[in-house]
Every structure is written in structure tokens, then in C-alpha cells.
Amino acid sequence: MQPSPFTLRTGIYPEIDPTHLSGSLAGQNALVTGSGRGIGREMALALAQAGANVVVTGRTASQVNETVDLIKKLEGGAVGQAFGIVADVLDRTDLARLVEESTSVLPGGHIDILLCNAGSNMFQPFHLTDATEWWDIMELNVRAPVELTRLVLPGMRARNRGTLVYTSSRAATADLPWTTAYNCAKTAITRFAGTLQAELDSDPTSGPTNAIRCFSIHPGEIETSLHESAFPEKTRKEAPYIVEHMAKLGAKRPHFEGVLPAWTCVWLSVPSDKREALKGKYVDCTRDVGEQAEAAAKAAGKL
């Protein structure tokens, strides 16, 4: 991979400082998949702190309820409301129910911000992978967010307003070994975000200017339970060198905090000319997002 020209960031920095973004999403409604734990939980907390009303969703009721409780304990007058809905994003009937229930509990009955964060990974040589398990990763990381977008987008188009964020990965930009399904999935969802943005911007029915923005993000190598479950027993037994190799890489890697992608998503969700330069783009949360936006604006001849 080519070295990045942008400043490395591992936690909160001035551009995404919560003190500046507090209240910036007041009155907006957000739905965050995979928000019962990990990065998704951090996203839900950040959005609520920024004033958005948030639907927390995941497959495990106890985790969903815990995130909702954490939001309700946040201090500050700008904190948004929290609602928990248990749903399986791989079940199309559940997806429809999720959107229907979300719009029924959210003030105004609409979704302004959709963060498609639910996902999974598995480190395993391709020749050892099970076909069903391989395609399951594709389904969760590609089909689920695409189908959820299909359900949420009509409302955004009707209002000509909305933000769609898809959790991608650096795997979308590099040929990383032992994660063929994950790499393919993250490449696909990154291209989906960019292509959908181009389509929306070219839609003559959206009026003079399309105000729906799509982004794909690399959240950073955040240490979550996903890292623990990414090495199945078959990998540990038949390809232990993978576990050893990834452990060595992890020891050299900076420690990235969950608040980094969370508040980057808040920043991306606040409408402004500065953010416009990044719409449809792949955004690396481990690099200064202000610098990325400035570079994108220059490349587009807007600076």
C-alpha cells in the first residue's frame, strides 16, 4: 500500500472534537446497524451526543438494551433520544420490520442518517474455506447494507436529504491475504457507495442539487470482539501461521480508539460545503478528515 499523505490520527483531534460538534445533529434521526457493541456502539453514542435521535439495532437484545441505556445516561442538554430494536439484518423480513418500527418511533417518522456498520470477517486461506461461510460474509457485508439502503433511500429521496455511511475497510484498497470474502465484500460496498452517489447526483428528479450524500469509511483497526472471532478453529489448527502473523502486525500497529470512526461519522453527517468534496468517496478515519476533504476539493477544482 502507498503511504498516506494525510496526518495519522488515533483518537479525537480538533477537526472531530465533540465539543465543537455537540448539538450539530439536533433534530436529525439516525439508524445504526451493529450498534449493540463495538464500533457501532461508539457510533450510536457519538450521534446521540451530537443531538441525533438514534435507533440502536443488533441481533442480541441484551447488547442493544445496554447501548440504549448508555445513551440515556449521557449528560448534556443536546443529547438525542435512543430507541432499541432487535433485528437480524440478514433476514429481509426483519429488515423491513426494522425500518417500519424505526420510522414509527423516531420523531417525524423519518431516517436522516443511516450507518451500515454490521459486518464480520474470517482469516483463513481460501482453500480451507467453507463455501457457505464464505458467502455468509459477503451477504452480511454487502447484501444486508444494500437491501437496507433500498428500504431507507425512498424516504431520503422524497425529502432530498440524507446521509448514508457504509463501514468498509482498508481491505477494499489492498490485496490482503487470507480474507478473500471480506476483501471482496468491502471492495463491493465501497464501489456501491461511490456508484450510488454518482447516480443520485445525476438524477434529474432530485431538483437543482442532490442533497443525499454517501460515504464509505475505513474505521481503523479497532480492537473489538470481531478480532477474536475472526480466527476460527480450523485456521488455528491448520494454518496457525496466520494467527502468528496477524499478532505480529497487531503489535506494531498504533492503538486506534473507537471514538475515532464514531466522531468522524458525526463530522460527515453535518451538512457543509467542506464535506461535499468527500461525498461518494472512501474516507480513512485513521487520517485527518479535514485534510482529506481539502485534498478532494482541490482535486475537483473547488479550491
Report d(CA 142, CA 174) in Å as an integer. 18
Question: pLDDT for 80-137, tens place per residue?
Answer: 999 999 999 999 999 999 999 999 999 999 999 999 998 888 899 999 999 999 999 9
Report d(CA 32, CA 35) in Å as an integer. 6
Question: pLDDT for 196-232, tens place per residue?
Answer: 999 999 988 777 789 999 999 999 988 766 666 788 8
- For the full predicted model, state whether its pTM sits above 0.85: yes
119 Cβ partners below 8 Å, 6+ apart? 34, 140, 141, 167, 185, 226
Q: Which residues are catalytic?
A: 182
